[in-house]
Amino acid sequence: MFVFDPMYLVFVGPALLLGLWAQFRVKSTYATTQQMPAPLSGAAAARYVLDSAGLQNVAIEQIPGQLSDHYDPRDKVLRLSAEVYQSRTLAAVGIAAHEAGHALQHAFGYAPLALRNAAVPVAGFGSNLGILLVIVGAFLQAVLHWSPVVIWLGILLFSGVVVFQIVNLPVEFNASSRAKQQLVGLGIIDQEQLYYVEKMLNAAALTYVAATLQALMVLLYLIMRFGGRRD
């Protein structure tokens, strides 16, 4: 029961490879755009985007780490890594504007963002516990001949991860779209610079696509491998 199943790689392998490729693309495009100058720092660009949308109440903070940038809807705070916060580069303004895009989504009631935020606890709870319940349920069924109810409970919990990843896709794509519109519309970057920012944001979006595909294929594998057990 616990011997490695080659079918797992058949299901999940392509998504894993896509994820590795996406991570490589993110790092390479980030390194390239980090060398290209911009007229504003990431913090200043984010402030300009937020203020132009009437969001003076959204604060901007510097936090440690690399590519740890995020928007916290609970506290209405845009948190930027030191490199993004301080640098006057295309990478910095692109990432900062993307995160500001999430603040705009929050302020203007973008429905998929509300769904994603509601799904965060379920996804965090179901990711590890779901897999654990499937393994425990399979053991109990094989050894003690229990019903597959524990297995299906684990699969149901893990399906919350898949739902979260699917809902997250339009949120991230929309934030990038808002970022590009704002950066050009406010005159922070021109069309030539937009090409490089777009490449970086598209590479980042690919990581979310890979994560969604991986979660979906793991779910399908669990259903195939354990969902139909009767012995």
Quick check: 108 pLDDT over 60?
A: yes
Structural domain includes residue 173? yes
201 in Cβ contact with 179 (< 8 Å): yes
pLDDT digits (tens, 9 = 90+) for 135-154: 888 888 777 777 788 889 99
Residue 26 located in a structural domain: yes
pLDDT in tens, 170-209: 999 999 999 999 999 999 999 999 999 999 999 999 999 9
Residue 231: pLDDT band by 50, 70, 90 thresholds? very low
pLDDT of residue 7: 87
> Mean pLDDT for the chain?
91
| 222: containing domain | 6-227
If you ran DSSP here, which 8-state letter would residue 65 be given?
S
Q: From start to end of 22-156, where are the E strands?
A: 59-63, 70-72, 77-81
pTM attached to this predicted model: 0.87
- Would you state the pLDDT for residue 6? 86
116 domain residue, yes or no: yes
pLDDT grade for 105, boundaries at 50, 70 and 90: very high
- Buried b / exposed e along 167-200 (16+ C-beta atoms within 10 A): bbbbbbbbbbebbbebbeeeebbeeebbebbbbb
What's the pLDDT band for 228 if we cut at 50, 70, 90?
low
Q: Residue 229 above 60 pLDDT?
A: no
CB 41 within 8 A of CB 85: yes
Q: What is the pLDDT of residue 87?
A: 96
pLDDT confidence of residue 3: 59
Enter the tokens of residue 145: 């001949």
Segment 21-32 shows an average pLDDT of 94
Q: So what's the pLDDT on residue 2?
A: 52
The number of distinct structural domains making up the chain is 1
Q: SS in 3 state form for 143-210?
A: HHCCCCHHHHHHHHHHHHHHHHHHHHHHHHHHHHHHHHHHHHHCCCCCHHHHHHHHHHHHHHHHHHHH
Total residues found in the chain within this entry: 231
User: Per the domain annotation, does 195 fall within a domain?
Assistant: yes
Report if residue 73 sits inside a domain: yes
Question: At what angle are helices 149-185 and 191-222 packed, to 10 degrees?
Answer: 180
Is pLDDT of 129 > 70? Answer: yes
- Domain membership of residue 1 (yes or no) is no
**Any idea what DSSP says for residue 37?**
B
- Determine, yes or no, domain membership for 202: yes
Active site residues: 99
Other beta carbons within 10 Å of 231 = 5
Structure confidence at residue 219 (pLDDT): 93
**pLDDT band at residue 73 under the 50/70/90 scheme:** very high
Q: How confident is the model at residue 227 (pLDDT cuts 50, 70, 90)?
A: low
Closest CA to 202 of 26, 17, 6: 26
213 domain residue, yes or no: yes
User: Which residues are within 8 A (CB) of 98 and not within 5 positions of it... i.e. 6 or more apart?
Assistant: 69, 175, 176, 179, 201, 204
Report long-range pairs for 57-61 (Cβ below 8 Å, ≥24 apart). 58/103, 58/107, 60/85
Residue 1 has pLDDT above 60, yes or no: no
